[in-house]
Amino acid sequence: MPPATGGGLAGSELRARRGRCGPPAARTASRDVAAKAAAPSPKRSAVNSQRLEAAGRWALLALVTLLSFATRFHRLEEPRHICWDETHFGKMGSYYINRTFFFDVHPPLGKMLIGLAGYLSGYDGTFLFQKPGDKYEHHSYVGMRGFCAFLGSWLIPFAYLTVLDLSKSLPAALLTAALLTFDTGCLTLSQYILLDPILMFFIMAAMLSMVKYNSCADRPFSAPWWFWLSLTGISLAGALGVKFVGLFIILQVGLNTISDLWHLLGDLSLSLVTVGKHLTARILCLIVLPLALYTATFAVHFMVLSKSGPGDGFFSSAFQSRLSGNNLHNASIPEHLAYGSVITVKNLRMAIGYLHSHRHLYPEGIGARQQQVTTYLHKDYNNLWIIKKHNTNSDPLDPSFPVEFVRHGDIIRLEHKETSRNLHSHYHEAPLTRKHYQVTGYGINGTGDSNDFWRIEVVNRKFGNRIKVLRSRIRFIHLVTGCVLGSSGKVLPKWGWEQLEVTCTPYLKETLNSIWNVEDHINPKLPNISLDVLQPSFPEILLESHMVMIRGNNGLKPKDNEFTSKPWHWPINYQGLRFSGINDTDFRVYLLGNPVVWWLNLLSIALYLLSGSILAIAMQRGAQLPAEVEGLSQVLLRGGGQVLLGWMLHYFPFFLMGRILYFHHYFPAMLFSSMLTGILWDTLLRLCAWGVASSRLARGIHVVGVLSLLLGTAYSFYLFHPLAYGMVGPLAQDPESPMAGLRWLESWDF
């Protein structure tokens, strides 16, 4: 018999030949069987598709991250001199390296990290950081800039991942990343020793973590859920630890958490015990953990800054007693105030300072033209006063005079040690505060008139009690007018050296503005006591530091030749901020947003409000939308709504603030508006493409639309990049300038 294979042919080939030679029906069945055998299963196709999609996401993330780091680190060392607020934050980094106490209106984490980066990169803390334009020379500054650029570089991948999670769309995430990568403003802020890139890093980390733990809602209490929830709390502590603006992202996470818990409470499939577990988890991770970390940053701050420095005068005498090098640290001074003592008098309200005078007079037309009396936040020999009896000019320190203590209710004079003029008040109006009386220095060599007499009172004490240094809370009542010595806290103009106004208020209500204590006390006739008992506890230090920061924040004033701005200026990119240089021979850096990016973001906010309102109303009215359109609408309303809320929370509160504002305050909000732009345009382009019958044409509309936005953003960056990377040579009005013809708004002063 012949072989089973049919003359040596392979079985498969024989079967194929038989199929070809068989009847048509048999051939068709054979082809169907072969096609089914060759085609992959639907399950395998789905897995392969998911793998390809995941690989594409990771490849794009790597590309976005690489481009972000490349743009932020390019020419990082230029210019080789101080730019704008590097004066402050570089100097504060030096203070940490030198362990010198200072005062700033922001929490300490950002400055601590800058100081740590400088220390690890070889900076020794000796550069003075006196003013913008000073050359760094041999000092190592690139490490601190590099740290800020490193954190600023992560903003783009964080935004990419956030939008990807909210929209489930790679084009939306890619468009968002391009908007932030090619924005000249974000680039500029990331390249210098500033708090802004550190703050925005923690804000975006908190936003990403919140979105990620929301996406794990179907797996509560799993390891990824706990990880992202905890990371949200850590990021919130970081944001608040850099600036109080971090409160805005805390508010957003708080609103999201309340909504989440409310939804869980309405889910009847969950027991109340499970809901309680959810509540407990959020309390632990979003309240307890951030507060513990935030408090820990202050503990480290106070531990590191243990030496007396320029910030001492902003704080109470008890606070200063813990700083080595301060005259109150481990010091011993006379306990009770006596006539003839040389003293300093400090206002108990935080950030008011010491009673102070100097040889300058009040200008013509402002009350009596007598010697100025102010409060001053720093220790100075012009803070020294001699306490004397009101009715004698004899020297109480004369050895023949017996020691006589000052008591509650005594009538005294305070003679300024440097100028020998007496603390004086009269019925002339104070320079800034209406209905308060002016306070001056008056007299010659301690001889004045009855308007120099003050009654000293200890708060909540009886007549005759001695006055204790540092501990007694005292008031000075003017004998003739009956007013109380105090400080309004208002900053005097340049004629008053921008020190704080001192007034005598006829309103006798006790406030911290009119309560003082005696701090320094020099009297060789009296025995000394140790001041170790004054040192405050950590909770007292923490509370006081926050009171001083809040008051300092509210009292911020613009520096010379500096452009301030208003919140309505910011979204329209109305005016930038000069970082460095002004002349054609200077290295000029100008903080200005990429106008194409910023105006597209502004248009996107308006379009979102319009389209989102239309979709929300249609869905509320029960309109039957196709499944694909309804899915896109949900992405737009939920994902876009989340980032729109972030924009609003980081923008609108500035309209309520009384402090001075600058252009850079808008950049956290700008991050959210860029994410909204990415989600909106991707969704709108998909909706436009959905209406086209041909799937190939629909895909083309979407691809062309996204590519047009990407290329337009990149080209505008090419035009405006000299603003961020710096330029030397002709100014913008010169045809030879790289910025010639690009001054699209008159308010741009580059």
Which structural domains are found in the chain, ordered by start?
Answer: 202-298 (no CATH), 318-539 (2.80.10.50)
Q: Is the pLDDT of residue 642 over 80?
A: yes
More reliable by pLDDT, 583 or 241: 241
Residue 327 has a pLDDT of 78
- Note if the pTM is more than 0.95: no
Residue 3 has a pLDDT of 41
Q: Is the pLDDT of residue 558 over 80?
A: no
Residue 24 has a pLDDT of 45
Tell me the pLDDT tens digit for each residue of 190-249. Answer: 999 999 999 999 999 999 999 999 999 999 999 999 999 999 999 999 999 999 999 999
Distance separating alpha carbons of residues 615 and 613, to the nearest angstrom: 6
443-464: burial string, b at 16+ Cβ within 10 Å, e else: beebebeebbbbbbbbeebeee
Q: What is the residue whose two structure tokens read 């100075």?
A: 380
Residue 22 has a pLDDT of 45
Residue 74 has a pLDDT of 95
Give the pLDDT mean for 555-577.
Answer: 78
More reliable by pLDDT, 691 or 750: 750
Q: How many CA atoms lie within 13 A of 253 on its CB side?
A: 35
Sign of the CA dihedral 304, 308, 314, 319?
positive
pLDDT-above-90 percentage for the chain: 63
Chain-centre distance for alpha carbon 213: 25
pLDDT band at residue 16 using 50, 70 and 90 as cut-offs = very low
More reliable by pLDDT, 395 or 657: 657
Distance separating alpha carbons of residues 279 and 275, to the nearest angstrom: 6
Residue 38 has a pLDDT of 47
Q: Is the pLDDT of residue 464 over 50?
A: yes
Output phi, psi for 386, to 5 deg: -110, 130
* Surface-to-core class of residue 130, CB atoms within 10 Å of its CB (0-12 exposed, 13-18 middle, 19+ buried): exposed
Give the pLDDT mean for 726-748.
Answer: 84
More reliable by pLDDT, 99 or 394: 99
Distance separating alpha carbons of residues 26 and 327, to the nearest angstrom: 107
Residue 97 has a pLDDT of 97
Contact assessment for residue 65 and residue 156, using Cβ atoms and an 8 Å cutoff: yes
Q: How many CA atoms lie within 13 A of 202 on its CB side?
A: 27
Q: Is the pLDDT of residue 18 over 60?
A: no
Residue 694 has a pLDDT of 60
Residue 4 has a pLDDT of 40
Give the pLDDT mean for 325-347.
Answer: 87
Give the pLDDT mean for 660-669.
Answer: 93
Distance separating alpha carbons of residues 273 and 358, to the nearest angstrom: 69
For all residues of the chain together, what is the average pLDDT? 88
